């Protein structure tokens, strides 16, 4: 378990937020099929999985004279594997105008998401619970695979790609339960929602919070988030962090989360 963060100053929370995100790189990279050398000044994962998330680039600290060369190197690797790339930028990104460089290299700029945090002792636990909702820990092959399928549906894919389901399955089955816990929500005997808490960099990071379209606007997402954060709190964690999309931002605020920074993704696709 990582050393638990006690400092709740904005600068400390922002640093922990980014470091929690950056800690995904070796997890994603563990799904790769070959070893490649990272260009200096970035952390990245490169796989053969044709999904941007699993080919992520983060924590860029690039000298101005090396930016184009580094981007070209990363794109060249991705083109050789025929996979897309997701490049994350945030408060620690250098140079600060990296977004503009990425656009010149055909990366599509995504929307800014809110980097949010909440003290777990101050979570709003009074939100109504949808009647019949139960939340289960995914902890065996069948439930890990099911989690990946439901998560894909929750993020807008009616029939999730098998390679995505397999990638999440492989990740969850290898996960250390001291650092990663995945939950599936059930309503009327049907799996309808997911959440995942990633305990790294001293904080509890929320990811994979999704609800299938038919079950939205019932408060399910809030309960999936609350349940996961409470599990982290029971393990001694003090701070929860979330990269909140515009769709989920108000729900996270209802739990007590506050915005501290912005995080953006940029997507490059082959061809």
Give the span between the Cα atoms of 15 and 20, in whole angstroms.
9
Task: Please tell me the predicted confidence (pLDDT) of residue 271.
Answer: 82
Task: Please tell me the predicted confidence (pLDDT) of residue 159.
Answer: 83
- Domain ranges, residue 102: 10-113
Same domain, 124 and 109: no
Average pLDDT over residues 211-230: 96
Same domain, 173 and 75: no
pLDDT digits (tens, 9 = 90+) for 73-94: 999 999 999 999 999 999 999 9
What are the residues whose beta carbons fall under 8 Å from the beta carbon of 239, sequence distance 6 or more? 5, 8, 13, 16, 117, 118, 119, 120, 202, 203, 204
- What percent of the chain stands above pLDDT 70? 98
Place of tokens 């729900």: 251
Assess if residue 271 is contained within a domain.
Answer: no
Assess if residue 267 is contained within a domain.
Answer: no
33 pLDDT more than 90: no
Calculate the average pLDDT of the chain: 95
Residues in the chain: 271
Same domain, 154 and 88: no
**Four-residue CA torsion sign, 33, 38, 44, 50:** negative
Assess if residue 231 is contained within a domain.
Answer: yes
Task: Pick 158 or 47 by higher pLDDT.
Answer: 47
Give the span between the Cα atoms of 70 and 67, in whole angstroms.
5
CATH number at residue 254: 3.40.630.30
Residue 218 Cα distances to 88, 208, 250, 251, angstroms: 31, 18, 14, 11
**What letters, b where the CB count within 10 A reaches 16 and e where it falls short, cover 224-239?**
bbbbbbebbbeeebbb
Task: Please tell me the predicted confidence (pLDDT) of residue 93.
Answer: 98
pLDDT digits (tens, 9 = 90+) for 55-65: 999 999 999 89
pLDDT digits (tens, 9 = 90+) for 173-210: 999 999 999 999 999 999 999 999 999 999 999 999 99
Q: Quote the pTM value.
A: 0.94
């Amino acid at each position: 378990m990582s050393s638990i963060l006690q400092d709740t100053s904005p600068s400390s929370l922002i640093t922990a937020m980014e470091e929690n995100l950056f800690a995904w790189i070796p997890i994603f990279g563990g799904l790769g099929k070959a070893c490649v050398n990272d260009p200096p000044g970035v952390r990245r994962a490169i796989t053969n999985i044709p999904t941007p998330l699993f080919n992520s680039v983060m924590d860029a600290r690039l000298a101005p004279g090396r930016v184009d060369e580094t981007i070209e190197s990363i794109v060249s690797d991705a083109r050789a594997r025929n996979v897309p790339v997701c490049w994350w930028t945030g408060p620690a990104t250098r140079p600060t105008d990296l977004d503009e460089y990425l656009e010149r290299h055909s990366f599509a700029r995504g929307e800014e998401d809110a980097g949010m945090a909440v003290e777990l002792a101050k979570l709003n636990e009074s939100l109504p619970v949808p009647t019949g909702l139960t939340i289960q820990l995914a902890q065996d092959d069948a439930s890990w695979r099911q989690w990946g399928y439901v998560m894909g549906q929750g993020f807008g894919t009616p029939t999730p790609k098998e390679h995505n389901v397999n990638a999440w399955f492989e990740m969850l089955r290898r996960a250390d339960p001291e650092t990663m816990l995945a939950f599936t929500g059930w309503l009327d005997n049907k799996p309808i929602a997911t959440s995942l808490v990633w305990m790294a960099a001293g904080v509890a990071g929320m990811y994979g919070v999704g609800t299938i379209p038919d079950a939205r606007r019932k408060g399910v997402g809030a309960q999936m988030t609350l349940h996961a954060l409470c599990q982290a709190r029971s393990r001694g964690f003090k701070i929860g962090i979330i990269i909140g999309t515009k769709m989920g931002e108000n729900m996270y605020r209802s739990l007590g989360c506050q915005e501290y920074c912005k995080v953006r993704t940029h997507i490059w696709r082959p061809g």
